Amino acid sequence: MKRWKKVLALSAMGLILTSASYQLSMDNTAQARPLPRAERVSPQMRINNEMQNISEYFGVDKQTLVMYYNNGWEMPELRRGAFLAYASHKSFDDVMNLRENNSWGRVEYLIGLTPNDLKTTQDDIISTQIANKLDINKSIVTFLVKQNYEVDEVIHGILYSMYVDKSPADIIEMYNPPTSNWEVVADDLGITQEELDEIHQKMETLDLGMIKGPKGPGAMRF
């Protein structure tokens, strides 16, 4: 009798566990939903967008870029060539012809560009793009860029300053990760969640030809 009671007890325990396991499985099934398919950009569209950016930034005809690309030149080469042509006031064709048999460093030397010229040009491009996109005075952006602030710091500082009585430079100085990230800065400034959402939406609409890395967006690399 004791043996049967033990068997019945074990059987009952098994039914309870089976039932619980089934219920858990059903719950998981009910909760499991297919993840939304991530929006994908085709390689061709990505290349087309980058060509458009290069054309707008440096004044190189897009069809010219397409021709060079179809002849085997890669996008980093085209971007660098367009930047150097813009910085030196040379034609894109002249720069790319020099590149045929020379390193980029040699090309820079041949067209008379110094490291300081390159930095000045890049700073000017960044300042112009941010000023145009955010519809603010370029001198404000130029001042911040010349302080060697990162692009994302400049953008945060400017956008936050639109909601508080504080200069972009003062706001950027409050940013000190990891102890004081941008959310902490916003909280210290009294920026509401609704205002923060507006700021994030403005950031998402910016298209500055940026490359996103582990530390956030950085300036378009040349």
Q: What is the pLDDT of residues 103-150, one digit of tens each?
A: 999 999 999 999 999 999 999 988 998 999 899 999 999 999 999 899
Cβ neighbours for 129, distance < 8 A, ≥ 6 positions apart: 57, 208, 209
The number of domains in the chain is: 2
Query: Chain-wide mean pLDDT for the chain?
Result: 81
Return d(Cα 101, Cα 65) in angstroms, integer. Answer: 19
Report pTM: 0.65
Instruction: Yes or no: say if 120 and 95 are a contact pair by the CB < 8 Å rule.
Output: no
Same domain (yes/no): 123, 104: no
Return d(Cα 201, Cα 134) in angstroms, integer. Answer: 12
Phi, psi of 211 (to 5 degrees): -110, 125
| 48 within domain boundaries | yes
Query: What pLDDT does residue 43 have?
Result: 84
Boundary (domain end) residue, out of 95, 110, 125? 110
Same domain (yes/no): 130, 51: no
Q: Which amino acid is at 1?
A: M
Query: What pLDDT does residue 107 have?
Result: 98
Q: Which has the closest alpha carbon to 206: 163, 165, 154?
A: 154
| 69 within domain boundaries | yes
pLDDT in tens, 142-185: 999 999 899 999 999 999 999 999 999 999 999 998 889 999 99
Return d(Cα 82, Cα 201) in angstroms, integer. Answer: 31
Query: What pLDDT does residue 41 have?
Result: 61
Same domain (yes/no): 53, 135: no
| 91 within domain boundaries | yes
Query: What pLDDT does residue 116 have?
Result: 94
pLDDT band at 19 (very low <50, low <70, confident <90, very high): very low
CA distances, 147 to each of 201, 209, 219 (Å)? 26, 21, 15
Name the residue with tokens 């692009």: 151
Same domain (yes/no): 92, 151: no
How many Cβ atoms are within 10 Å of 10's Cβ, its own excluded? 10
pLDDT band at 210 (very low <50, low <70, confident <90, very high): very low
Tell me the residue range of the domain where 81 lies.
43-110
pLDDT in tens, 105-115: 999 999 999 99
| 74 within domain boundaries | yes
Classify residue 134 by its DSSP letter.
H
More confident residue, 90 or 212: 90
What is the mean pLDDT of the segment spanning 187-200? Answer: 95
